[in-house]
A and B are shown apart, each in its own frame.
Chain A
Amino acid sequence: MLTGPPLLEALTHRVTSRPVPAMFFRGTPLAYAADPLGRNRGRSSPIAAGRFNLLGGTRVLYLGETHQTCAAESQAVGGASFAIAIIPVQVRLQAVIDLRDAETLDVLELEPRELALNFRLSRQPTPTQLLGEACAECGAIDGIFYASLTPAGGLCLAVLESNLRAGVTSLVVSDLRTKLADQLP
């Protein structure tokens, strides 16, 4: 995969992105459901590493296209041992890149096998973590589509919170029945 300035240049000028207005879902332990967009994370300890962010790195919120995808992702990371909540999130993004697209992978010089590396068991930052951090740094990308690595498959969306722009892009949770409500930015 490209790194450093060539990666930032590719993200800023060459990679294809598109707007996404859609409903996605966030799977979270029920114990954290009162904070549906995860505002409190990182307050008492560094932001945990994720597929598209380093430990203590940029804030990324991980969503699934369907509640089934969220359930499969929950099970794959061991979360299904606990009571979980799957929360609908109204997504409005302006520039989402799609890692299922061969042309996007070509531009980023990203190999499919690099997408499947398990960051938890890697001693080095993985390409996807470096990609997420670069997307946050370049400021031009606010989301990344990627295929779920669970046996069930499905589409996932990593949202780069630092690149959300008030009045232009947003994540909204609004459930009248439970009065669960929040919004980013």
Chain B
Amino acid sequence: MQHARQTLGASLRKFTDGLGRYDAVKLAQALDWEQREIARFLDKDPSAISKNPASPGYQEPLARLVALFERLIELSGGDGAAAVAWMRTPILALDNASPKEFLLAGELEVIENLVGEYESGFAL
């Protein structure tokens, strides 16, 4: 778990700018999302993301997305690729949609809750 935290710390630094603000474009790359997808997550126009990817207005939703990603990386023992793969996997508990589809539809809370459920044991 120590190794996972170190890996995670290094990983998180990759998607902040020089001021420590979350950068939407860098985060999209880490999640293997297209720029238009992170724009949809933020409910913004893709051109706005290009111009100012670390806008103060994006910090709260980006911080929640990073926190979710962090929990997934912890669950996967530090494997960011596994976390990315999980996000695009259709899940029966989500009526066969992927977590990413929910995230892009503005339903971040549904996915946060699903990951929270795992602590109580896997149960459909």
By a beta-carbon cutoff of 8 Å, the part of chain A in contact with chain B is 26-32, 38, 40-41, 45, 47-51, 55, 60-63, 70, 73-79, 81-84, 118, 120-121, 148-150, 156, 158
Contact = CB atoms under 8 A, between A and B. Distances in A.
Interface of B: 1, 74-77, 82, 85-86, 89, 91-95, 99, 110, 113-114, 116-124
A76 B121 CA distance: 12
B98 to A, nearest CB: 9
Contacts of B92: 75-77, 150
B122 A62 contact: yes
B74 A77 contact: no
A82 B124 contact: no
Nearest to A150: B124
Most buried by A among B91, B93, B110, B116: B93
A38 B86 contact: no
A26 B118 CA distance: 11
26 contacts: A29-B75, A29-B118, A31-B75, A31-B77, A38-B119, A45-B116, A48-B113, A48-B117, A48-B119, A51-B124, A73-B123, A76-B91, A77-B91, A77-B122, A77-B124, A78-B99, A82-B77, A82-B86, A84-B122, A120-B93, A120-B94, A120-B113, A121-B110, A149-B124, A150-B92, A156-B123
A113 to B, nearest CB: 15
A157 to B, nearest CB: 10
B118 A77 contact: yes
Contact of A73 (B99, B116, B124): B124
B91 A78 contact: yes
B85 A78 contact: no
Given A38-B119, A150-B92, 12 more contacts: A30-B77, A32-B118, A48-B116, A55-B113, A61-B121, A70-B122, A76-B92, A77-B91, A77-B123, A82-B76, A120-B114, A150-B124
Contacts of B94: 78, 120-121
A31 B117 contact: no
A153 B4 CA distance: 35
B121 to A, nearest CB: 4
Nearest to A89: B121
Contacts of A47: 120
Contact of A41 (B77, B113, B119): B119
B86 A50 contact: no
Contacts of B119: 28, 32, 38, 40-41, 48
A81 B117 contact: no
B124 A148 contact: yes
A73 B121 CA distance: 9
Contacts of A73: 122-124
A82 B82 contact: yes
A165 B121 CA distance: 22
Contacts of A70: 122
